Amino acid sequence: MLLHAFVPASRANGPGLRAVIYFQGCSLHCAKCWNPATHKFRGVEVPVLEVVQRFEEASQFGSLEGATFSGGEPMQQAEALLELMRTFRRTAPAVSLGMFTGYTESELACGRFVTRLGATVEQKCELWRAVRGLLDFAVMGRYDQTQPSIAPLRTSRNQRLVLFSSRYQEGDFGPQLVEISIEESGKSVLTGFPVLGVPA
């Protein structure tokens, strides 16, 4: 899979303490996207098992409730995403899985999305059904800078928080947060929702 970044611990990307896995590559190009560096489909291929190993290592330093997939666009690497999710469910079945996607649920259900490996419409529908069955929650829909929102995990009002399992309720998702972490290399990483001037 093409990996942009791995954040080992975050409270801004879903309930509890979570690892955040940023996929590299997105062709949606939402205006004023927060992560423009994730758009190009280029970088180093990282084996799925290496990502799982990073999660396991991060879990040793704090009890991680789950993993959140972001990007980039996770569904544009749906094959790798599904392999990653199945590995999590096999090796850490108690872990919750969430996702940010710029696609709507109807687009995914109809196979109206792009995949890096060029899946057919039928294959894309199957991929989404399999991914959907493993998710606990997802934030769905394009980012629209003209519709700012302060709702949990949503930066624009057109986006929906969809619960795919009984694990969480809407009230489990807290207010938007911003986090800044500094890696060993000295690189700073900003994650969360740095939205200024949003009406209440």
| DSSP letters spanning 185-196 | TS-EEEEE----
Query: What span, in angstroms and rounded, lies between the C-alpha atoms of 16 and 64?
Result: 7
| Position 126 in a domain | yes
| Position 141 in a domain | yes
Domain count, the chain: 1
Res. 62 pLDDT band, cuts 50 70 90: confident
What pLDDT digit, counting tens, does each position of 132-143 carry? 999 999 999 999
Beta bridge partners of 181: 189
- Is pTM beyond 0.75 here? yes
| Position 173 in a domain | yes
pLDDT attached to residue 200: 45
| Position 200 in a domain | no
pLDDT attached to residue 34: 84
| Position 198 in a domain | no
| Position 161 in a domain | yes
Domain that holds residue 122: 3-192
CA distances from 54 to 47, 50, 70, 82, 193 (A): 11, 6, 16, 17, 24
Q: Which residues contact 115 (CB under 8 A, 6 or more apart)?
A: 75, 76, 77, 78, 79, 124, 127
What pLDDT digit, counting tens, does each position of 142-177 carry? 999 999 999 999 999 999 999 999 999 999 999 988
